[in-house]
Chain A
């Protein structure tokens, strides 16, 4: 497949692709077990079991891979060894699954949808140490992968401006807000009016 498998927009909204339930709980349908899924009742029991089975099927393909158990364990609590084409990898255990996506539309109508269907809804879920702290899940989409090799650089390998700013402190790597007073505004934007007000190309 050469296209995205899931489209989700939180602000713009999306078209109803497969409407099965309009839940009032504005979150994705994420569960640790089929039992949890059935008990919550937002998805049908059949959707719950299909979602689990389909997620588990792609788990080995989609899970993030590590070349050593140690590096896997630095991010995830539980890892298992997985062999493919004679190579060993470590992948996190599947801690849950996605049975559907919550999508709310943008603009005046604001109708929420829950989308559940193979291509869009079902995915294996993982919980990193960060996810446990935040109460979130992670999922990986790898795409089918194009042919040819990627020309990649390791971004942020230097003092990337993204990693830290002049005032950053602490181990988080993220900086805090900096309050200040502006002495001037309007010093950018002028060229757009000179050329008809359009920036793209």
Chain B
């Protein structure tokens, strides 16, 4: 059977750069290379979207939530997913009191023929949100308006609405707004355009949902004598959104104050369980041969020889760094990076589909607890990195 999912060339809007500027999309070009690429688009059928991506995403999300629940009941297993012992209570308490969460992204290998295979989860600091949720949507609306796409064209993308809805629910949980309410602090590494942009987008939605908000560079977070985190106006941070990985927070100087600060976190601490590759073998163990999972196991010892047909990923790694691929035949592919230390997992080799020389990855979003939409990334190599291009999609 031939594949059905199509990659077709698409006329770029003549004014897309201007539109990007007006929309506040500043990172469409990264280090001189195009990041947003609308000269091509992916075309899905509704069946491919619903049967092959939306439903599996919803199901896998349920499996992930079950897994968190299981691990919280068996905290001794938390070391498998790299949570330091001193943070176990912090993480488990957050799940037990049902701290709400906002979003996550699953990365799939999918070519329109056969089930989508889960490569990994980004459930703590998923990026490429704004371009998927907002700019991709504006692209399609403009293309339709200008007659470059048929009127009936659709897109699997409820991200914006679902994000707002999730934040409105959070607002309801936080009680009535009042003038003396502490700000909902948004933090990230301010000098990163991409992180800053993504954070600003969510901050915008939070203020629409009725929260007083402010941005704080992560380096500016302080602590008072009682071990409470503070902002630059010398107020205790009571609500915070962070686009910064839990595993990093756990390793830094202020980690010892996490237990004492009365701060509500987004994403909540329990998301640290799902933000690493250790989840993959645990999911396989609980659901062996699930059509959307790839076989995975923990590496037994650090120097162990990687057999052909397997991919090695450190439990904590990001942006495709420190990955080793041993295809069944041919040469090994190694990507260097800063995350080489620590335990690793092996995952069965399942290459990304190649369309016209480009390897495509489907990022499938969960907002609140709902499968909400997708964003396509593509790269000239088998490994999707932070600079891999974002390409829009449509449902035809």
List residues of chain A with CB under 8 Å of any chain B CB.
1-15, 17, 105-107, 109, 130, 141, 143, 146-167, 172-192, 194-201
For the complex, give the distance between the alpha carbons of A160 and B181 in Å. Answer: 17
Q: Decide: A9 and B204 in contact? CB cutoff 8 A.
A: yes
For B61, give its contact among A143, A151, A174, A199 (CB under 8 Å): A151
Q: Which B residues between 124 and 141 are near A, CB-CB below 8 angstroms?
A: 124-128, 133-134, 137-138, 140-141
A12 B161 Cβ-Cβ under 8 A: no
Which residues from A are CB-within-8-Å of B24?
A: 9, 11-13, 106-107
Partner of A109 from the list B22, B100, B207, B251 (CB cut-off 8 Å) is B22
Beta-carbon contact of B158 and A17 below 8 Å: no
- Distance (whole angstroms) from the CB of A171 to the closest CB of chain B: 9
Q: Main secondary structure on chain A at its contact with chain B?
A: loop
Q: Within the assembled complex, what's the spacing in Å between the Cα atoms of A68 and B134?
A: 37
- Is A148 touching B319 in the complex (CB atoms < 8 A)? no
Q: Which residues of B contact A201 (CB under 8 A)?
A: 122, 124-127, 245, 275, 318-319
Choose from B58, B181, B244, B395 the contact partner of A146 (Cβ within 8 Å).
Answer: B58
Contact of B125 with A200 in the complex, beta carbons under 8 Å: yes
One of B219-227, B327-335, B375-383 contacting the partner: B219-227
Interface of B is mostly: mixed
What is the CA–CA distance of A152 and B52 in the complex, to the nearest angstrom? 21
Contact of A200 among B198, B234, B265 (CB under 8 A): B198
Q: Which residue of A lies closest to B212 (CB)?
A: A177
The total of chain B residues at the interface (CB under 8 A) is 114
Q: B73-114 CB contact bits vs A (8 Å, 1 = yes)?
A: 000000000000000000000101111100000000000000
Interface presence of B42 (CB below 8 A)? no
Q: Which of B133, B201, B224: most chain A Cβ within 10 A?
A: B224
Q: Which residues of B contact A5 (CB under 8 A)?
A: 161
Top-7 shortest CB links A-B: A173-B175, A200-B127, A187-B254, A182-B222, A158-B97, A151-B62, A161-B264
CB <8 Å contact, A3 and B140: yes
Contact check, B19 vs A151: say whether CB atoms are below 8 A apart.
no
A33 to B265, CA, bound (A): 42
- Choice from B59, B156, B207, B338 contacting A196 with Cβ under 8 Å: B338
**Residue in chain A with minimal CB distance to B386:** A198
Q: Which residues of B contact A180 (CB under 8 A)?
A: 224-226, 228, 230, 234-236
